[in-house]
Amino acid sequence: MKCSFCEQPLVCKACHKPFHPRQGQTHLSAYQPDMEVICPECHQVLVCRACGYVYGEEDEDEAPPR
Ligand SMILES: [Zn+2]
Ligand SMILES: [Zn+2]
């Protein structure tokens, strides 16, 4: 899956693993701003490692960083 902003391979910024949506979840290619994408590896909000785009809300005030 490519990042919808920088069009580079989408790699999770938190765990540095490439994000691959499961087959059948092609709706992720049509990302909607109100839809959160959770990394299946580290279960955090997916952030593009290349451009830093957050696929979801940044909840730094509510979610404690790990
Ligand atoms: Zn991750
Ligand atoms: Zn990106």
Where do the domains of the chain lie? 1-66
Q: Tens place of pLDDT for every residue, the chain, 66 residues? A: 899 899 999 999 999 999 987 665 555 555 555 678 889 899 999 999 999 999 887 655 555 566
Ion ligand 2: residues, CB within 5 A, are: 3, 5-6, 48, 50-51, 53
Are 55 and 40 a contacting pair, CB within 8 Å?
no
CA angle 20, 54, 11 (to 5 degrees): 35
pTM to 2 decimal places? 0.70
State in Å: Cα 50 to ligand 1 middle: 14
- 62 Cα distance to chain centroid: 18
Neighbours of 59 (CB within 10 A): 11
State in Å: Cα 45 to ligand 1 middle: 8
